[in-house]
Amino acid sequence: MYTLFIADDEKIVIEGLTSAVDWEKYKIQITGTAMDGIDALKQINCLRPDIVLADIRMPGMNGLDLIREAKRENPNLLFIMISGYSEFTYAKRAIEMEAVDYLVKPMEAADIVASVKKAIEKLEKRKEESKLTSKIELYEAELEEKHVLDVLMGRCPLKPVPIRPLHEYAVAVIRGHNEAFVVHLREKCLEEFIYIVEDSVVMVSPRPHDLQDMLISLADLGNPVMGISRVRQNDLHLPAAYEEAKEALKIGIFGSQCLTKYEELKEYGLHQGTTMLKEIELFFSSRPADVWNEMGHLIDKTMNYAEVNKLSPKKTKYLCFNLIKTFLRHVEAEYELEDKLFGEGYLLYEEMEELKSREELKQWLTNTVREAVEYLDQNRISFNEKLVLELKQYVNEHYSEPIVLDELGRRFYKSPAYLCSLFSKNAGQTIFEYITSVRIEHAKRLLRSTNLKISEICEKTGYSNHKYFNQVFKKHAGKTPGQYRSRHLVKQE
């Protein structure tokens, strides 16, 4: 249904035009009438009809001026002009102003209908042209959008497609979005190319300097984490910009940040970490006796270092992998494990690579250490007993030689402090007390069964100072070596 407005200074003409034709038959609705040009213009601007049937001569504003003024507000408005004068100049001027037709009074209903049909045909043609134009524009937009996506993803298009010149642009990659966020994004960012790629929203914006503010304004919709590339000038750099945005996104996820710009990554310690690596190496080379409790502090220190220095996810994971591998090597060597605690290193690395944040990484380190401790708690007795037995065997074989704690540490690949602690807990006496008891027992045997001089027995049992030997012997046996031998000889008689 199209709408028709009638303007004429004669009421009888308006009534005749309104009633002489069955307008509904031609899908026409009379939307209003006016008897002067000024009133007609006001109503036309308000009612927005499709066709105006207007007299050339009207009070207030003539028909030609009405065409000019009305088309300022509605350029697509169609006019059919009528007049009681057949001057060629009026007709010519009306046609120049794109009037559909020019009718001369008195008019036949058939003439009026023919002119209106002509106007309807023109409206239908415009509608078809508009649909075709919309389809072409939609096709071109889709073609352009696909071309940008192909270039972005590194796919080579079959043939070049003319696209809007991207004088400057940036790429954003967004995760943690919801449906409301995407809807508002499409409504607000009309100039942007927006794609859903797997679990991310990818956006190419020709307004790179406004991009950050646009995204932040939508951050309350869900919990999006966003990475933005550097500003680029050539669409050939789209793949590189996409990689930059993804890298920025990773760091944003890792550091629990809403928005991260790639150009700021120089602040994220891409070349740092050496200091912490040295501290990890120093920690284990010192062979701490209480490695279990100290590991908690070392994990905290490593993660704090990564956060303070804004290390990239890759660098942070490298530090943590170095930490856990060094820890496991320490445990496996300390307890002489034949099998690796958690299998091959690459399995641990693959497991760690799945982690998305510092908190997840810290929890993973803590759990891995805890699992190692639980395993060793179940097997530690056999390890410790074996080592203590080997220490005792060594002392019994070498009691006549100088025994130095540092040398024991090197021989058994353990720290001296660890050996002392382990021996005391398992043997119920210190390692020095055990060495002394072995030497004194051997001295007693020699005193009882040989005629060796006491100075010779002193040397054979690992003592280089005769006086010191006498003091130690008396402390443990309750008698001097000489008294012990005399009493033993008396008992023998």
Report if residue 132 sits inside a domain: no
Burial of 106 (0-12, 13-18, 19+ CB in 10 A): exposed
pLDDT digits (tens, 9 = 90+) for 403-445: 888 888 888 888 888 888 888 888 888 999 999 999 999 999 8
Q: Is the pLDDT of residue 161 over 70?
A: no
Residues 97 and 10 in one domain: yes
Domain with residue 214: its CATH number is 3.30.70.860
Cα–Cα distance for residue pair 115/138, rounded to 1 Å: 34
Report if residue 36 sits inside a domain: yes
Q: Is the pLDDT of residue 492 over 60?
A: no
Report if residue 159 sits inside a domain: no
Q: In which element (H, E) is residue 174 found?
A: strand 170-175
Q: Is the pLDDT of residue 96 over 80?
A: no
Residues 319 and 427 in one domain: no
Residues 7 and 119 in one domain: yes
Choose between 481 and 374: higher pLDDT: 481
Choose between 350 and 393: higher pLDDT: 393
Burial of 123 (0-12, 13-18, 19+ CB in 10 A): middle
Least confident of 35-49, 209-223, 379-393, 468-482: 379-393
Choose between 104 and 157: higher pLDDT: 104
pLDDT at 348: 73
Report if residue 289 sits inside a domain: yes
pLDDT digits (tens, 9 = 90+) for 102-132: 888 888 888 899 999 999 999 999 888 888 7
Residues 226 and 279 in one domain: no
Report if residue 338 sits inside a domain: yes
Residues 79 and 96 in one domain: yes
Domain with residue 474: its CATH number is 1.10.10.60
Cα–Cα distance for residue pair 19/25, rounded to 1 Å: 13
Report if residue 439 sits inside a domain: yes
pLDDT at 28: 93
Q: How many domains does the chain have?
A: 4
Residues 33 and 93 in one domain: yes
Residues 488 and 400 in one domain: yes
Would you list the DSSP string of 379-410?
Answer: HHHHHHHHHHHHHHHHHHHHTTS---HHHHHH
Report if residue 160 sits inside a domain: no
Q: Using only the alpha carbons of the chain, give its radius of gyration.
A: 49
Local confidence band at 157 (pLDDT 50, 70, 90 cut-offs):
low
Task: Give the end of a domain, one of 327, 361, 379.
Answer: 379
Residues 86 and 199 in one domain: no
Average confidence (pLDDT) over 41-54? 94
Dihedral sign from CA coordinates of 93, 96, 98, 103: positive
Average confidence (pLDDT) over 190-213? 87
Residues 42 and 122 in one domain: yes
pLDDT at 29: 93
- The average confidence (pLDDT) of the chain is 82
Q: Is the pLDDT of residue 383 over 80?
A: no
Residues 340 and 371 in one domain: yes
Question: What percent of the chain clears pLDDT 90, i.e. is strictly above it?
Answer: 19
Residues 120 and 68 in one domain: yes
Report if residue 185 sits inside a domain: yes
Structural domain span for residue 69: 2-127
Q: Is the pLDDT of residue 155 over 80?
A: no
Choose between 443 and 145: higher pLDDT: 443
